[in-house]
Structure 1
Amino acid sequence: MLPTPLDKYRNIGVAAHIDAGKTTVTERVLFLTGVTERLGEVHEGTAVMDYLEEEQRRGITITAAATTCWWEGHRVNLIDTPGHVDFTIEVERSFRVLDGVVAIFCAVGGVEAQAEAIWRQAQRRKIPRIAFVNKMDREGANFQKVVRELREVLDANPIPVQIPAGAGENFSGIIDLVALTLLTWDETSLGVEMKSEPVPEGLLDEAEMAREEIIEALAELDEPFLREYLEEGRASEEAMVAALRRSALALKAVPVLCGSAFKNQGIQPLLTAVTRYLPSPEDLGPAKAFAVRGGEPVEIGPDANGPLAALVFKVLADRREGILSYFRVYSGEINVGDTVAAGGGEIRVERLFRMHADEAITIEKASVGEIAALAGPTGLRTGDTLSAIGKALALEPIRSPEPVMVVALEPKSEADRELLEKEISELLLEDPSLSAGIEEETGQAILKGMGELHLEIAIGRLTRKKNLALQVGQPKVRRIEKLGGSGDGEAEFSRETPEGICRALVKVRIVPFEEKAPTQFSSLLLSRLGPQEVEAIKAGVA
């Protein structure tokens, strides 16, 4: 296969609230792009991307899984992310290395809680998005309601580029508003055969009205489109696609599509929308980094001939290949046999892989724009940067959320205690949102995580892997006080002394900092006070 030009790369994530059909969409993508030969089904436990035993048993995504497919001359590096709030670290570290997101919404449930949280994560990272309203075949499906919620709940600017032909049991296809065609699928071909035809008379008025709304929205958002529209007196398909792309990449608009992944309807147009409206690495410009020596800021352009800069975003223990470190290349390339700077030291690259879920496909090099994995006990951790020897760089790290729940673990023997320490270390390497320690009052081992399900699955892995015998306490919520906003206060102090009456007026303003930032104190008077007075003030404020 010939190398794919960088402008044809799409590094995307698929994200959604749990049960919106996210993994079902991904399985259809793999099937229709020829990566898999049969359809994987979540409800049957045969989904390729949900390869963990726990995922197949529970029917949910627990860990982010990577794969690669090709569509219309584009290379699509895709990460399927979990939809459950307990596994938010998987979404966060995936979004750190992705250029675009396909957000899946249930046509019945609309914008649900975790979908909103995921949207905010993408918004914070300024990641362009497209929306796919799934399950249009379900009773109660309402496309316009979901579009309205995108606008009202998420403060997005949704632009439907499709509308459904019917809904629920009457859902029969999709109207492409840009091309003004009706798309239908042959069920017996599992969605492989897609038919495009002119919009029928009974649906034409609605389609033309919806298309005019796109034109009006683009005229407000995109000046080149407005100029061309005024000059030509019409909006061509090419002009609309170009304007939608510019608007999506500038975070001014979110193209909205629809379909039913379970019924194999709407996946090919969704893939085309990924290539049309989501960015390539070239579109996003240079990544920000710092020189390890000196700390000077450095801009890393997406250049295959530039210095190596790659970010490790996930580390896991693979049952076949051992420790795998997933990374995204932002500049240069990394080859088998190279020695690179990483984590404050140097490592030799022994084996490289392109991942397809849990299948490791051997490659000789990974170049700019690629998502790959290297094998070996390298000591790498999530957030480490791979760079050239003598030109060590540090890309923006990956933040892990603070655990919110804690559980006590009591090994049933001394041998189990030693084994627990070893296995917990490996668990923490894979999942930075877990933490462990010893409870001061009881001396018990404790494990902290993002919720009951998170802890349950983590403990299940500990006990099953080595037949570790543990007595597990009841999970408890960790209560952490923090400032919700700014506040002002003042107090006057008066005391009689032999020298006379001493008075003091203290005014305090408290302002919340970013999460995990250390407490900082500033005052015009601190430099004129003694150490005891300063410590007293700090203790009082804290």
Structure 2
Amino acid sequence: MKITDEIEKRRTFAIISHPDAGKTTLTEKLLLFGGAIQTAGAVKSNKIKKTATSDFMEIEKQRGISVATSVMAFQYQGKQINILDTPGHKDFAEDTYRTLTAVDSVILIIDCANGVEEQTKRLMEVCRMRNTPVIIFINKMDREGRDPFDLLDELEDMLDIRVRPLSWPIGIGATFQGVYSIYNKNLNLFAANKTKISEEIVKIADLEDPQLEKIIGEDATAELKEELELVEGVYDDFNSEDYLKGEVAPVFFGSAINNFGVKELLETFLDISPSPIGRESSEGYVEPEDKDFSGFVFKIHANLDPNHRDRIAFLRIVSGKFERNKFYNHVRLDKKLKFPNPTSFMAQDKSVIDEAYPGDVVGLYDTGNFKIGDTLTEGVTFSFKGIPSFSPEIFMELENKDPMKSKQLEKGIQQLTDEGVAQLFIQQPGNRKIVGTVGQLQFEVIKYRLENEYGAKCDFTPRRFYKACWMTTDNRDQLDQFVKAKASYIAKDKDDNYVFLAETKFLLDMAQQDYPDITFHFTSDFKVK
């Protein structure tokens, strides 16, 4: 099969949402339709003992939240579907932002009762930065919620994007009976089923079918026709090119937990969503069809399997064909590496693969060679751009509670911060370790994992810093003066770059004013030559 055929078969996307909007539940149902699993795990239900497939870390199972991006692949209607299920909690936003660099499109879930929430807006801003195509799924229509037209207005106002409904709910809450597909002009009515795919009760080809009134009632039929007429009058016809440019977001309605509207979403998604696209690099734009292999690491996860203490780098393939046991250039290290056991994923279940194509996400066993943003190439050497990282918002000093386990603590904090969900700064004298994150919950996860995966006990002591600022300058003397004058607030990151830990905005402003030749960076993805 030609590489162009393999590329066209693939769909690589992320599912994103505010916490509790139903992201992991929707992921489960898509996996059900793909035949990847037979029974969906209820994330917060004690009655169903099986936990959600995409939540594989022990702390996720205990708390019922996702704290790490999971990768899942399955086949559906001749397509290879790669889903990246991301953490919803804002404390893990950096993992989600980084994951968005590895996908070609996004499904954004909205809770029909809550509408647009704070995290939803932030996620959408990241999508808009790259003009990522977005489909919106308004979930939980089986519960009492907001009027669909009000929700559509709010989406346009608060997310700054035009919307176009491609499905429409029949009722809401107690009166919710199913979803009409505007895109396919048909209606599938299902019996609610939380853990398996229900067989359709009835398939109705169009709104004039006399069966419709018999099944959903005369009033519901009249209301559905009236609302669809209003939709067609208010919204422009759907234009797939506008969607692919990130200018319009198709909207679907449903109830993920009961399987209403999920099939309509999946099948329309496969029809309109983009196949894998290229990426900007230091040597220009790289097309998926380019014959030479290239890819970048967007995530690293230590101890995916705690029994084997493995460390896996998640590689998004951008161009060419990846082959097992073939040597590729590791650009940053300037060395050749080969991978005898590259894997594909079904959450924590892994299988060794011989080859992979643009759009695929491959797991590479890593002995410490990789960092977030690393590029692998075949042939020409270049680096991919745009792996985002942010100045932390919360800073804590790491304290060792068991001196006998100092080596384990050292190894653990290095590996966990390599995953990119927290940043590590070393202060002298004393080799003091300052950990910075974008959210408080991340410290709880780090502490849990250090103890349970590395056998190291620690505590965190708050440090009051406003921002971590990386510094570049052509004036070495001025930098030396600054480092000497601010010694108590200077640290080094893991790459040995100087970082200014500013206590307040005022002190940062003063530093910028007093040392004009130093540039203070608020993201850690700049390159120090």
**Offset from partner CA, 1:505-524 (integer Å, 9 cap, x none):** xxxxxxxxxxx9x99xxxxx
Does the C-alpha gap of structure 1 residues 213 and 129 become closer, same or farther in structure 2, counting only changes over 3 Å? farther
Question: Are the counterparts in 2 of residues 96 and 398 from structure 1 also a CA contact under 8 Å?
Answer: yes
Quote the residue 2:295 is aligned against: 310
Quote the residue 1:280 is aligned against: 275
SS of equivalent to 1:26: helix
Q: Give, in whole Å, the separation in 1 of the partners of 2:28 and 2:456.
A: 35
1:538 to 491, 516, 527: 516
Quote the residue 1:66 is aligned against: 71
Question: Are the counterparts in 1 of residues 408 and 455 from structure 2 also a CA contact under 8 Å?
Answer: no
Q: Give, in whole Å, the separation in 2 of the partners of 1:435 and 1:135.
A: 40
Q: Give, in whole Å, the separation in 2 of the partners of 1:272 and 1:540.
A: 53
Does the C-alpha gap of structure 1 residues 263 and 2 become closer, same or farther in structure 2, counting only changes over 3 Å? farther
Quote the residue 1:178 is aligned against: 183
Does the C-alpha gap of structure 1 residues 321 and 411 become closer, same or farther in structure 2, counting only changes over 3 Å? closer
Aligned runs of 1:206-285 on 2, under 5 Å? Answer: 206-208=223-225, 210-212=227-229, 215=232, 243-281=238-276, 284=277
Letter matched to residue 434 of structure 2: I
Which runs of 5 or more structure 2 residues have no equivalent in the other structure? 208-212, 470-496, 501-512, 521-529
Does the C-alpha gap of structure 1 residues 332 and 539 become closer, same or farther in structure 2, counting only changes over 3 Å? closer
Q: Give, in whole Å, the separation in 2 of the partners of 1:398 and 1:434.
A: 15
Matched, 1:101 2:96: no
With the length of structure 2 as denominator, give the TM-score of the two structures: 0.80
1:407 to 380, 396, 399: 396
Does the C-alpha gap of structure 1 residues 361 and 391 become closer, same or farther in structure 2, counting only changes over 3 Å? same
Question: Are the counterparts in 2 of residues 321 and 375 from structure 1 also a CA contact under 8 Å?
Answer: no
Q: Give, in whole Å, the separation in 1 of the partners of 2:519 and 2:56.
A: 50
Question: Are the counterparts in 2 of residues 141 and 168 from structure 1 also a CA contact under 8 Å?
Answer: no
Q: Give, in whole Å, the separation in 1 of the partners of 2:66 and 2:199.
A: 29
Quote the residue 1:467 is aligned against: 455
Q: Give, in whole Å, the separation in 2 of the partners of 1:208 and 1:180.
A: 12
Question: Are the counterparts in 2 of residues 134 and 259 from structure 1 also a CA contact under 8 Å?
Answer: yes
Question: Are the counterparts in 2 of residues 323 and 376 from structure 1 also a CA contact under 8 Å?
Answer: yes
Does the C-alpha gap of structure 1 residues 25 and 307 become closer, same or farther in structure 2, counting only changes over 3 Å? same
Letter matched to residue 366 of structure 2: G
Question: Are the counterparts in 2 of residues 400 and 432 from structure 1 also a CA contact under 8 Å?
Answer: no
Bigger mean CA deviation after superposition, 312-321 or 63-72: 312-321
Matched, 1:480 2:461: no
Following superposition, the deviation at residue 335 of structure 1 comes to: 1.1
Q: How many residues align?
A: 459
Higher normalized contact order (CA 8 Å, seq sep 6+, divided by chain length): 2
Does the C-alpha gap of structure 1 residues 469 and 299 become closer, same or farther in structure 2, counting only changes over 3 Å? closer
Does the C-alpha gap of structure 1 residues 478 and 172 become closer, same or farther in structure 2, counting only changes over 3 Å? farther
Q: Give, in whole Å, the separation in 2 of the partners of 1:414 and 1:253.
A: 56
Q: Give, in whole Å, the separation in 2 of the partners of 1:217 and 1:249.
A: 21
Aligned runs of 1:68-83 on 2, under 5 Å? Answer: 68-83=73-88
Q: CA RMSD in A?
A: 3.0
Quote the residue 1:299 is aligned against: 285
Which runs of 5 or more structure 1 residues have no equivalent in the other structure? 220-239, 291-296, 483-515, 520-534
SS of equivalent to 1:111: coil
SS of equivalent to 2:407: helix
Does the C-alpha gap of structure 1 residues 254 and 213 become closer, same or farther in structure 2, counting only changes over 3 Å? farther
Q: Give, in whole Å, the separation in 2 of the partners of 1:310 and 1:539.
A: 36
1:420 to 409, 430, 443: 409
Structure with max Cα Rg: 1
Question: Are the counterparts in 2 of residues 104 and 133 from structure 1 also a CA contact under 8 Å?
Answer: yes
Does the C-alpha gap of structure 1 residues 17 and 339 become closer, same or farther in structure 2, counting only changes over 3 Å? same
Q: Give, in whole Å, the separation in 1 of the partners of 2:174 and 2:221.
A: 21
With the length of structure 1 as denominator, give the TM-score of the two structures: 0.78
Question: Are the counterparts in 1 of residues 450 and 457 from structure 2 also a CA contact under 8 Å?
Answer: no
Quote the residue 2:92 is aligned against: 87
Quote the residue 2:488 is aligned against: none
Following superposition, the deviation at residue 536 of structure 1 comes to: 6.8
Does the C-alpha gap of structure 1 residues 151 and 42 become closer, same or farther in structure 2, counting only changes over 3 Å? same
The percent of aligned pairs where both chains have the same amino acid is: 26
